[in-house]
Amino acid sequence: MAAAIFWHDGKWYEDQQPKLLGPMDHAMWMATLAFDGARAFDGLAPDLDRHCARLIDSTRKMLLEPTLSAGEVHDLCLQAVRRLPHDVPLYVRPMFYAMRGFVTPEPDSTDFALAVYASPMPEPRGLSVCFSSYRRPARDAAPTDAKAGCLYPNMQRALVEAAGRGFDNAITLDASANVAELATANLWIATDGVAMTPACNGTFLNGITRQRVIRLLREAGTEVQETTLTKADILDADEVFSTGNYGKVLPITRVEDRHYQTGHVYQKARELYFEFARSQPVG
């Protein structure tokens, strides 16, 4: 596998990924796995420490006990990044998972693995999105306060549904039919120069890139509102864009049959984010 490296049980693997699970392992059949995703590109690793800290929090919310501290995970991630070419954009994915248990996991069976591999950064060419028929679960219906693999199958269905209609991604709603986020990223709009993003209500993660962009825009003098948004708010907006670890800040130029131009709020958010990223070298 080109431009990839893995760590498990004290060993680095560069030629092939280690095989970790069997049919009796808890994570294999009960989906007891927490992970996080970060980026490294151009010798930078923006907010990597915060992604590692969130992994620890997610792991405990999945009823597991981390075997490493956030600082130790962060150090392993940096070691992996330094072993790979700096001119290749990387996806950094540490994870904890359970090995034993029946229905509930045994916390002391938690294991750790790290995968860091080449993953191109998407170009900001403009995404097309539709409204999905699949919804985000309520906070009492799933572990929505964790970044966990078990939350993704419904979003996989949303993405397949969107692709079948000719769209790149899907806008998902919460149980009250308000806008939650995209299937794979947080959603934003701008109206009359005001940036707005759905208020975190426990149905989706308060993304680390989302938090960073909120702070950067406010510090630069742009009003940001975390609020309830409806389908009509999206369709009536001047701009629509997304934030997320995979693509950072990306424009959305079509929602259903409504077309948008990339506007100055999106452009400011993207410029501010990558200016911040340049202050986060791998070292």
Cα distance between residue 5 and residue 12, in whole Å: 7
Amino acid at 259: H
Q: By the 8 A CB rule, do 111 and 67 touch?
A: yes
pLDDT (tens digit per residue) in 102-161: 999 999 999 999 999 999 999 999 999 999 999 999 999 999 999 999 999 999 999 999
Alpha-carbon torsion angle 141, 146, 152, 153, nearest 10: -40
* pTM for this prediction: 0.96
Cα distance between residue 34 and residue 48, in whole Å: 16
Cα distance between residue 24 and residue 242, in whole Å: 39
Sign of the dihedral defined by the CA atoms of residues 51, 57, 62, 65, in that order? positive
Give residues with Cβ within 8 angstroms of 173, minimum separation 6.
131, 132, 135, 136, 179, 180, 231
In DSSP notation, 71-128 reads HHHHHHHHHHHHHS-TTS-EEEEEEEEE--BSSSB-GGGEEEEEEEEE-PPPP-S-EE
Residue ranges and CATH numbers for the domains of the chain are 4-118 (3.30.470.10), 127-277 (3.20.10.10)
Per-residue pLDDT of the chain (283 residues; tens, 9 = 90+): 569 999 999 999 997 899 999 999 999 999 999 999 999 999 999 999 999 999 999 999 999 999 999 999 999 999 999 999 989 999 999 999 999 999 999 999 999 999 999 999 999 999 999 999 999 999 999 999 999 999 999 999 999 999 999 999 999 999 999 999 999 999 999 999 999 999 999 999 999 999 999 999 999 999 999 999 999 999 999 999 999 999 999 999 999 999 999 999 999 999 999 999 999 999 7
